[in-house]
Amino acid sequence: MVSTLSKADKLKRENKVLHSIEFKYGGKPVRGWTIRHGDKSDQKGLFTKILENLLNMQNELKAQLKPLEKKKEYMGLVKSRMDGSQKNHAGRSISIASAIKDVCSKSEPKKKAEIVDILNPFIGSSYDDFRKEYDSICFEYNSLDLKQKAIKLYMNSFYGVTGQSDSLFYILELAGGVTSAGQENIKLIAKFVKKKGFEIKYGDTDSLYLICPDFYYEKCDLVYNGGKGAISKLEYWTEMVKITMGAMEKLRNEINGFLKLKIRSDYLKMAYEEVLFPVVFTGKKKYFSIKHEDAVNFGLKDPFIKGIDTVKQGKSQLFKTIGERIMSEVRDINNERSLHKIVEDVLRDTIINPNQWSFKQFIETDAWKPDKDNKAVQRFMERMQEKYVSRIPVPGGRFSYIVAHPETTFDLHGRKLKPTKGEKMEFADVAKELGKELDLYHYFEKTIIGLCAQFIMYHKKYEPQLSSRIMQIKDLDEKYKQIDDYA
């Protein structure tokens, strides 16, 4: 990496092939040049060699993950079939053999042989033995996945510190060059897929979620005929997912051929990851769906979630349950209601049927970090110093609490008090022992309604008018941020 024209010219005279970097930082132009190493070891710098070695380590772990991932996925489908049948038939579950046959019959023909090879050894197994093997595979998969993600994080930190001004590795030209190259490549790919008729539903720095052109589904649309045709809704959805999988695999190969021509290397590639259907986007980087990878997975119980608050640490079971109910009903193949109507129904049931909730479901957790400006936790711990100092966790330790209804709501002068959350928090076990009353206003008005709002904030009725200032903003990140705030 060189940052002056004179050094770049010197390298050119030595017949080095250079890659030029240009971008603006703080309103000022920044220029730099790197040598195109052409995958020749003697032309690569230390930075490149370190990252390549780390990438090779990650790829080795990914190679070990691949067969485990398939086994986990296909066994998960069998388990879901069996659990589903047990729920639908008053505790009577179908056999392992029947569940395997069902999974195989709904898989793509070209993948059926692989699925049969993985699942056939379990045909004579009991449910308990099958469950134990499935849990073991999940544990092994998760362990390897954590390792490869740790290496990815380590690799990303190399890039991160080059843009950190107080770092010994600070090279602004390199950090900006990586960012600008990534932006340029994703823009090239976006333009490429749009020319082929695909719609970009969602995209970020390194991924795109696409919608296939309508003509891919014309035949199955005709056969389904709005529910009046020769196939069921499940068969229709299954066929659409299979068509999408095939289309995306073909498109991936075309994109990678295009990238190789553009950047003159096969180092950078895009991978097909999954088909999401049905899918709901609730905001920027916030969505949930049924995830289909190598096989159609409508039998899977758990949704694929990104950015929805129900997955955040510390939330109460009440909060998680309500979010899960909404997502479950949206994903139900027999659902005919809009997302807005589902949210209304779940919220109404939550409030008018309070007996379904136990004290335990209102418990939340947080971490005690004395140096962090968490006003609620700071105030709570300040109060506990006077009452239950022995219960205060060590710095960094987590604790369980509930938000209690204030014992007094007016002061001596008859003025209404407005206690903060930190003044109403109580250790969960203490509150239960003392029979403290829960502050239902906090749980429902302050948290649950906020969760429900996340699911419907992009409904047309909550959007700003097309003529409003927000809708005229050109920067999409800023535009959607302000739409979120408005909603």
Q: Does residue 207 share a domain with residue 154? A: no
Cβ count near 336 (within 10 Å): 6
Q: Does residue 405 share a domain with residue 373? A: yes
Q: Give 253-292 pLDDT, tens digit per residue.
A: 999 999 988 877 777 888 888 999 999 988 778 899 999 9
194 domain residue, yes or no: yes
Q: Does residue 141 share a domain with residue 110? A: yes
Q: Does residue 94 share a domain with residue 53? A: yes
Q: Give 387-416 pLDDT, tens digit per residue.
A: 898 899 999 999 999 999 988 877 777 777
Q: Does residue 22 share a domain with residue 98? A: no
478 domain residue, yes or no: no
Average pLDDT over residues 297-305: 83
3-state secondary structure 184-215: HHHHHHHHHHHHCCCEEEEECCCCEEEECCHH
Domain end position, chosen among 255, 281, 302:
302
Confidence of residue 250 (pLDDT cuts 50, 70, 90): very high
**Amino acid symbol at 133:** E
471 domain residue, yes or no: no
204 domain residue, yes or no: yes
472 domain residue, yes or no: no
Residues constituting the chain: 487
Confidence of residue 457 (pLDDT cuts 50, 70, 90): confident
What b/e sequence results for 22-46 when a residue is b if at least 16 CB atoms lie within 10 Å of its CB, and e otherwise?
ebeeeeeebbbbbbebeeeeeeeee
Q: Does residue 214 share a domain with residue 157? A: no
Q: Give 186-232 pLDDT, tens digit per residue.
A: 889 999 999 999 999 887 777 889 999 999 999 999 999 998 999 99
- Residue 316 is part of a domain; what is its CATH number? 1.10.132.60
pLDDT score of 87? 57
Confidence of residue 85 (pLDDT cuts 50, 70, 90): low
Q: Give 14-45 pLDDT, tens digit per residue.
A: 988 888 899 888 889 999 998 887 777 887 88
Does residue 477 carry a pLDDT above 80?
A: no
Range of the domain at 32: 5-36
Q: Does residue 450 share a domain with residue 322? A: yes
Q: Does residue 111 share a domain with residue 51? A: yes
Full-model pTM: 0.75
Total domains, the chain: 4
142 domain residue, yes or no: yes
477 domain residue, yes or no: no
Q: Does residue 127 share a domain with residue 58? A: yes
Q: Does residue 340 share a domain with residue 414? A: yes
181 domain residue, yes or no: no
Residue 414 tokens, joined: 């008859």
